[in-house]
Amino acid sequence: MFTVALEGPIHGEGSLPSPTLYRSIFSQIEEIGWEHLIKANEDLSSLTFRIIDEKGKYHVMEIMLSRNYPEAPPSINADLPYIPKMKWSNTSRLIDVINQFREHLKKLQVLWSTLECIDNNLSVIGPKEQSFGTAQRHISLCEDSSVLLHINPCKPNTLPECRFLGSDQKVDLLLKNWKKNSRNWKIDKAFHENLATILETELPQPPIATTTAAQKGDETMDCGICYAQYLPIGLLMFYLGIAHIVQNQLLSKSPVDS
């Protein structure tokens, strides 16, 4: 069960497609799968689909159809570092646009894997959940300095562009090391390791999620209690006996004794 949100026409009154074009577009949506359509304009000038990439991530893609469609190619919009140029011919259909978009998502997986490596190994400044459309990261280097990295979406493993932030003395040192060691950047080496080598410094790791650690501690305690029922009968009786003795001692302990 799915719901498609219909919006009013964007070209004004009297600009609705012909019944023939309606049927053609509906047929092409059928090829893609109605379950992927999440929004459509009444005049079908805008169709929004939800596409899942090979890593299971969801992407929202809008296909915009001009008044001259299908003679004029559709255009697309999505939250990506850059939008690919779509190939279109007289025999092309919307499923071809979707397939080209999926291929583009495959190419961007290297970029997103690089960004994920940065997020997992370095202290990133900013929101935890980053947009698919960004190709930059703000990295903390120490208490008084940081670096803003601009990663090439097409070649994410190459040396990125950077901008250092901090005191003049610290920035001068970082720039000096960057210029001196840039040639040592290796595309087959992990991004965070390359960055540490170039800057000649140990980079801060991501902050420890104390909440998660506390939750894990609670889960461990709960598991110990829950698993008591699976102990051999002798150990179970011993466990319950010790608990009973401790409880009696606590109850019988007077305020004077404490």
Helix axes 191-199, 168-181, angle to 10 degrees: 110
State the DSSP string of 172-214: HHHHHHHHHHGGG--TTS-HHHHHHHHHTSPPPPPPP-HHHHH
Tokens of 183: 């040639």
CA pseudo-torsion sign 242, 244, 245, 250: positive
Residues belonging to the chain = 258
Look at the domain 5-94 and name its fold.
Ubiquitin Conjugating Enzyme (3.10.110)
**Cβ atoms of residues 76 and 83 within 8 Å:** yes
CATH 3.10.110.10 in the chain is located at 5-94
Residue recorded with tokens 């011919």: 89
> What three-state secondary structure class fits 76?
strand
**Cβ atoms of residues 125 and 146 within 8 Å:** yes
pLDDT in 10s for each residue of the chain, 258 residues: 334 444 444 444 446 778 899 999 999 999 999 999 999 998 999 999 999 999 999 999 999 999 899 999 999 999 999 999 999 999 999 999 999 999 999 999 999 999 999 999 999 998 888 899 999 999 999 878 999 999 999 999 999 999 999 999 999 999 999 999 999 999 999 999 999 999 999 999 988 765 444 454 444 444 444 444 434 444 444 444 444 444 454 455 545 444
Q: What is the pLDDT of residue 9?
A: 45
CA angle, corner 57, sides to 53 and 60, nearest 5?
80
Look at the domain 114-199 and name its fold.
Ubiquitin Conjugating Enzyme (3.10.110)
Tokens of 26: 């509906």
CATH 3.10.110.20 in the chain is located at 114-199
CA angle, corner 64, sides to 61 and 68, nearest 5?
155
Q: What is the pLDDT of residue 15?
A: 66
The model's pTM is 0.73
